[in-house]
Amino acid sequence: MKRYSQQTRLLFAVDCIIFGFDGLELKLLLIQRGFEPCKGQWSLVGGFVQEDESADEAAARVLRNLSGLDGVYMEQLHTFSSPQRDTVERTVSLAFTALIDIQKYKQQLNEDFHAVWFPINQHPDLIFDHVAMVEQAKVRLRYKAALHPLLLELLPGKFTLPQLQHLYECVYNINFDKGNFSRKILSTKLLVKLNDKDKLSSRKGAFYYKVDKKKYNANIHSFLNFVPDPHV
């Protein structure tokens, strides 16, 4: 194999910021690192990119090995390349954000990773620059969720509008007007109203909805201004 002469070799890694919603809180999935340095400390899910794969393929592999999942919503976030970010060798990491439904996949997590879901604003200290990765991912999530319907990726197969509103309030840490939120969300035509109700939360009950997958897939990258003004 030909190589460029007089060039420093770098390690190339991926790290996955995995967000999930359990119906009550927005959470972050962390693992206990299994090797030195920082063995036993809390970390994002990650790994090194192999010679025969792209960074996207590496991130998908890492997530699949952890959860058994394929086809999870995932996107590149940012490249973290400070020379001091890893204490062993110069390592450049490409961070990815992933969204999964906790209720659907929590039983599939590989126990070898010692993975734990933490509330998004109450997680332990993290190794290296992983806190900066998480903070940047939170900012990106809020920005994109205001324009695109991607938070629907975090919900179960059927859900109520109060549950959906609670998810958005968790992401933005603000309260939305109930009527305004419902009108804005339903105006997107992405939800299908079902006949059954959730009667556990109130006497009257709230109708369940599901995502119209065809419309959702056609509009996932459209600018829908999905979030209503919280002050209206």
pLDDT in tens, 60-76: 999 888 877 777 899 99
Whether residues 34 and 123 fall in one domain:
yes
Whether 99 and 17 map to the same domain: the answer is: yes
Give the per-residue pLDDT at 227.
72
pLDDT at 146 over 80: yes
Q: Are residues 182 and 112 in the same domain?
A: no
Does residue 69 contact residue 100 with C-beta atoms inside 8 Å? yes
Q: What share of the chain has pLDDT > 90, as a percent?
A: 60
Mean pLDDT computed over 46-72: 90
What is the chain's mean pLDDT, rounded? 89
User: Which position has the higher pLDDT, 225 or 158?
Assistant: 158
Q: Give the separation between CA 219 and CA 149, rounded to whole angstroms.
A: 8
Answer yes or no: do 86 and 136 share one domain: yes
- Look at 25-34, 72-81, 156-165, 219-228 and tell me which has the smallest mean pLDDT: 219-228
| First-residue to last-residue Cα distance in the chain | 63
225 occurs within a structural domain: no
CATH number for the domain spanning 182: value is: 1.10.10.10
Question: Which CATH number covers residue 90?
Answer: 3.90.79.10
Q: Over pLDDT 70: what percentage of the chain?
A: 91
140 and 167 belong to one structural domain: no
CA–CA separation, 224 and 232 (whole Å): 18
Query: Of the candidates 112, 129, 147, which is a domain's last residue?
Result: 147
Q: Is the pLDDT of residue 1 over 70?
A: no
Ranges 59-68, 98-107, 156-165, most confident: 156-165
Decide if pLDDT at 105 tops 90: no
* Domain final residue, candidates 89, 113, 147: 147
Q: What is the pLDDT of residue 232?
A: 42
* CA 60 – CA 28 distance, rounded (Å): 17
User: What range does the domain containing 196 cover?
Assistant: 150-219
Q: Is residue 232 part of a domain?
A: no
CA-wise closest residue to 120 among 139, 107, 104: 139
* 226 assigned to some structural domain: no
Region 181-189: mean pLDDT is: 91
Q: Span 138-142, mean pLDDT?
A: 94
Domain count, the chain: 2
The Cα 171–Cα 179 span in angstroms is 19
